[in-house]
Amino acid sequence: MMNIQDYQGVFVFIQQVDGKVAGVSHELLGKAGELARKLETEVTAVLVGSGVSGLCADLASYGADRIVLVDDPDLRLYSTKPYAYVLCSVIEKYKPAVVLYGATAIGRDLAPRVAARVRTGLTADCTKLDIADDGTKNLRMTRPAFGGNIMATIVCPEYRPQMATVRPGVMQKIKPVADAKAKVEKLDLAIPESEKDVQILDVVKKESHKMDIQDAKILVSGGRGMGRPENFKLLQGLADALGGTVSSSRAAVDAGWVEKDLQVGQTGKTVRPNLYIACGISGAIQHLAGMEESDVILAINKDETAPIFEVADYGVAGDALKIVPLFTEEVKKAIAARNK
């Protein structure tokens, strides 16, 4: 049985792809710092890859006190078992109390494999993390469940490390400290052949010139109420006028009108733009879960009883197909007047 006391430290798995650190990892370093202070311990970043030692300075500037570096050609590209082997070795050697991963296509594959191997608890897709004040100092992990209809708070009282995958876009990264210093410990691990049973034959990047909706400050979002895919052009018009980006509800994605990377919601992306304009979106809970933290929400929907109006700062009951083009014109006029 594990002796809980033996386990100390808040570790963050750093997701890097092609030598670039993922935004969520910076966010997790920020959160880890907060947790580490409460646990009176330090933040360790676990950096895995090939030829990635140059990223250490970046990690230090975002809050890592220490970096455990595992650098090996076998780890250049992400693959489940080799990376799981590394994380398990790190956990075995360092015995962290907490390990955090981004809830990404990598994190949500890696973390469960590690948790199963190490025999510990893992909580998925957390939106809130804090330390219990009941004397146990257990990590309290809060996450949406039931399609986003409820929130559940989970603890892992008897096993270590306490692991969580954390939803990107929720935690706050710190303002990078330019000359921050962190200890770097290089860990030499040879990946056993038995872990290398999946071959990567090819890597293909998806063509995308669109801005990621999670980075946009203004989103013009459409749902089933837009009627048909062609009507999304109206939304693009408004987005262009405002300098924003088009996004959508799940209904439009399921109907094949837009690509999934535009989907806002429980099974899509969480966004926190300054302005979110919901057009023809009813506001099902799964959708609200992805956008209700937006600073300002405008909603246009024919149905006055649509739930979207409960989160909108300003709502108009009406036909988005008629209102949006006129609104776009008003915006263009106002901008032109301002620029004179």
User: Which parts of 204-223 interact with other proteins (CB under 8 A)?
Assistant: 204-206, 208, 218
**20 forms part of the interface with other proteins (CB under 8 A):** no
**152 forms part of the interface with other proteins (CB under 8 A):** yes
From the CB of 226, what's the least distance to other proteins, in Å? 15
User: CA-CA distance, 289 to 310, in Å (whole number)?
Assistant: 13
User: CA-CA distance, 295 to 272, in Å (whole number)?
Assistant: 7
User: CA-CA distance, 153 to 145, in Å (whole number)?
Assistant: 10
Nearest 5°: CA angle at 46, between 40 and 52? 140
**Single residue of 4, 57, 131, 316 touching other proteins by CB under 8 A:** 316
From the CB of 106, what's the least distance to other proteins, in Å? 7
Residue 196 gets which letter from DSSP? Answer: -
Quickly tell me which residue has 């949406």 as its tokens. 144
**150 forms part of the interface with other proteins (CB under 8 A):** yes
User: CA-CA distance, 328 to 74, in Å (whole number)?
Assistant: 52
Q: Structure tokens of 62? A: 């975002």
User: CA-CA distance, 180 to 182, in Å (whole number)?
Assistant: 7
**Single residue of 157, 172, 181, 192 touching other proteins by CB under 8 A:** 157
Question: 79 with 200: CB under 8 angstroms?
Answer: yes
Site string for other proteins, 89-108 (x = CB under 8 A): ---------------xxx-x
**Single residue of 6, 133, 190, 198 touching other proteins by CB under 8 A:** 198
HSE value, Cβ hemisphere, 13 Å, CA-based, for 261: 12
From the CB of 329, what's the least distance to other proteins, in Å? 7
HSE value, Cβ hemisphere, 13 Å, CA-based, for 45: 38
**314 forms part of the interface with other proteins (CB under 8 A):** yes
Residue 197 corresponds to which amino acid? D
**Single residue of 38, 113, 128, 224 touching other proteins by CB under 8 A:** 113
Measured from the CB atom, the residue of 98 and 311 that comes closer to other proteins is 311
From the CB of 72, what's the least distance to other proteins, in Å? 18
**323 forms part of the interface with other proteins (CB under 8 A):** yes
Q: Structure tokens of 28? A: 């997790």
Question: 68 with 94: CB under 8 angstroms?
Answer: yes
User: CA-CA distance, 77 to 278, in Å (whole number)?
Assistant: 39
Q: Which stretch binds other proteins (CB under 8 A): 44-52, 56-64, 192-200, 225-233?
A: 192-200
Measured from the CB atom, the residue of 178 and 337 that comes closer to other proteins is 337
Site string for other proteins, 158-187 (x = CB under 8 A): xx----------------------------
**124 forms part of the interface with other proteins (CB under 8 A):** yes
From the CB of 208, what's the least distance to other proteins, in Å? 7
- Determine which helix (DSSP H) or strand (DSSP E) holds 187, and give its type and residue range: none
Which residues inside 236-295 make contact with other proteins, applying CB under 8 A? 242, 260-261, 266, 274-275, 284-286, 288-289, 292
From residue 27, give the alpha-carbon distance in Å to each of 22, 170, 247, 272, 305.
9, 8, 23, 14, 37
**Single residue of 115, 216, 219, 271 touching other proteins by CB under 8 A:** 115
**309 forms part of the interface with other proteins (CB under 8 A):** yes
Site string for other proteins, 51-80 (x = CB under 8 A): --------------------------xxxx
